[in-house]
Structure 1
Amino acid sequence: MEASVDANIWMENGNIIETIRRKVAKHPLLKHPILAQLESGMIDIEQLKTIHLEYRHAIVQLFTDALLMAQFQTRQLEPRLPPGSKQAPRFLLTLNILDEFGFTPDVGATGYYTGSPIYAHYPLFEKVLDSLDITASARELYHPSESAQTLNNYLTASFGHYQEVVILLAVAEQQVITFSAALREALKVHGFDVSKGYYHVHGTSDSKETNAADDDHQDDLWLALQQAVLPEDWENLQQKADTYLDLWHTFWDCHTLHVETVHAQTA
């Protein structure tokens, strides 16, 4: 990918990406008050059910759609970049997609890829809803909040623009890393088994509690951007990332216990 672009642009993009990543890391979303509430068990089961239905609509159902659209839209790199330039980012995006679809990094007895769609992340999330006793009809009839719908619409609107969908996916991975850990703890506190399933495959590659690689996938998305972006594109992309972070912050605001509620629960 580096060889496919001007050396100065590659270096400049790398510097800008580091600046954006530091800004993402300092966003209030990543220290949202609900994180402590989830981890301490303050969020009760009924509220956890609502959160999971909301989260399902906001990101889980369309995450692989976004990855596949990003992979398709690498076609926008050509003919601006040399022929075949789209293949390297497609390779990186495929690693993320294989993970999402239930493949495992191994070779079976027949010398072929291992895995099963029953381990795909979306079906695993549906099993979390099963464990929460959320029926199929409850899922079908659920009306997402305005905040969840706005997040869904914002990501979907990026599908036709390679750079935009990639930067939103990079931000989404950070959100997933941060909030999956808290949601895992919330379920564990309430007696749910999180040693396998959806929450076991979400988090960072260095976690001892999970078999996850969201940090690696995030790094790959930023590398794809480093190849794809021209200097004049960054202002728009920074604004997209900022807006998406703010929308996620608003989403979690909607599910945060207020001081009065906390006092009532502990009285």
Structure 2
Amino acid sequence: MTFPIENPRDTSRRIVRESIAPELWRDNEAFTQKLDRTIKGSRLFNHPVIASFARKEFTLKSMGIVHSEVRHAFAEHFGDALIRLMETTGTLERRLGAKPKMAARFLIQLNVLEELGYKPTPRGKTGFVGHPGFSHYWQLVDTLTAVGHPEQSWASYAPSPEADAVRKSLLGSFGDHLRLAVVLAGIETAFIPYYGPWADNTIAVCPTDISKGYHSIHVEDDDGTIVDHDHSEDSWYIVRQALTPDRYAEIETFLNDVLEEWARFVDMLAAKDRDVKRAA
């Protein structure tokens, strides 16, 4: 048997979509579109910190705190969460079968590879290209060093209660395939407005050139694309495959709760910046 290999993301999305009844996919898609509207109407998606970043108001010291809090709350375990999501697809097999499970794993794996530093193979070459140094977490480690928080200082850094709460919530979703998929889709969607302004502010205040590092990953490429758009839609595909109508109300409440938790996290970042400026 031969399989098309040229468009792995599109192919795996199609198989994931076709793994459930068309009417259920239609209903689940409508429900996730409602969730998307909830995210984009939330105070998190429209938080004043975005405009503060755009005006480059955060200082270098503030940016050190921001990156340290983001590392503790989200980044340290984000790759773990993607790998865990691959594992929890095993819960789909009894309901949907083995092949839908493998299609979901394949799609998630594309995200894992990109998260870990693999890049599309240039035309005319075979095999993988990439390096662990291109992984998103490695790039964040280098950026933390550039803003004054090298790895050897992490053990003595006291994260905020808000960062602890976000971290606990992320890790607490590891046992539920659907909830974890919703969290990852939510992160990939809700923080898109932050990445460009955050990058601009960080690059502006950093004493060294970090424009090719972590803050080049989540912003627009030369062709106008953003990697998080693919990752966000991949995650929503995984959500739609796993969703059943009996969980709609639960998931809607869950997403609203995590959005408010993430918004309180960003409130804290703004407060920390104000504290830094008052102390200067």
Same fold (TM over 0.5): yes
Mapped contact 2:141–2:151 kept (Cα < 8 A): no
Stretch deviating more after TM superposition (93-102 or 185-194): 185-194
Equivalent residue letter for 2:134: Y
CA gap 1:81/1:193 in 2 versus in 1, 3 angstroms: same
Cα deviation, 1:118-164, whole Å, max 9, x if unaligned, reads 11110100000111122333212112111000000001000011000
Tell me what 2:232 maps to: 218
Q: Confirm or deny that 1:100 pairs with 2:115.
A: yes
Aligned mates of 2:227, 2:273 — CA distance in 1: 35
TM-score scaled to structure 2, two decimals? 0.87
Paired residue secondary structure (2:96): coil
The CA deviation at 1:53 is: 0.6
Cα deviation, 1:175-211, whole Å, max 9, x if unaligned, reads 342222221011122255343111111135xx44987
Paired residue secondary structure (2:99): coil
Aligned mates of 1:121, 1:73 — CA distance in 2: 23
Tell me what 1:172 maps to: 187
Q: Confirm or deny that 1:199 pairs with 2:215.
A: yes
Cα deviation, 1:16-75, whole Å, max 9, x if unaligned, reads 111111111111111111111122122111111111110100101110011011111001
Mapped contact 1:167–1:222 kept (Cα < 8 A): yes
Query: Which of 30, 41, 59 pairs up with 1:26?
Result: 41
Equivalent residue letter for 2:126: G
CA RMSD of aligned residues (A): 2.4
Tell me what 2:250 maps to: 236
Mapped contact 2:203–2:211 kept (Cα < 8 A): no
Tell me what 2:134 maps to: 119
Stretch deviating more after TM superposition (128-137 or 92-101): 128-137
Mapped contact 2:188–2:229 kept (Cα < 8 A): yes
The gaps in structure 2 that reach 5 residues or longer are 1-15
Q: Confirm or deny that 1:250 pairs with 2:264.
A: yes
Aligned mates of 2:199, 2:137 — CA distance in 1: 16
Aligned mates of 1:159, 1:250 — CA distance in 2: 22
TM-score scaled to structure 1, two decimals? 0.91
Tell me what 1:17 maps to: 32
CA gap 1:61/1:45 in 2 versus in 1, 3 angstroms: same
Number of equivalenced pairs? 263
Aligned mates of 1:262, 1:195 — CA distance in 2: 24
Equivalent residue letter for 1:165: L
Paired residue secondary structure (1:79): helix
Tell me what 2:3 maps to: none
Alignment identity in percent?
Answer: 26
Paired residue secondary structure (1:85): helix
Aligned mates of 1:211, 1:53 — CA distance in 2: 27
Q: Confirm or deny that 1:79 pairs with 2:94.
A: yes
CA gap 1:137/1:96 in 2 versus in 1, 3 angstroms: same
The CA deviation at 1:259 is: 11
Q: Confirm or deny that 1:161 pairs with 2:176.
A: yes
CA gap 1:48/1:232 in 2 versus in 1, 3 angstroms: same
CA gap 1:210/1:152 in 2 versus in 1, 3 angstroms: farther
Tell me what 2:12 maps to: none
Mapped contact 1:178–1:203 kept (Cα < 8 A): no
**Ranges of 4+ aligned residues in structure 1 off by more than 4 Å:** 107-110, 209-212, 257-265
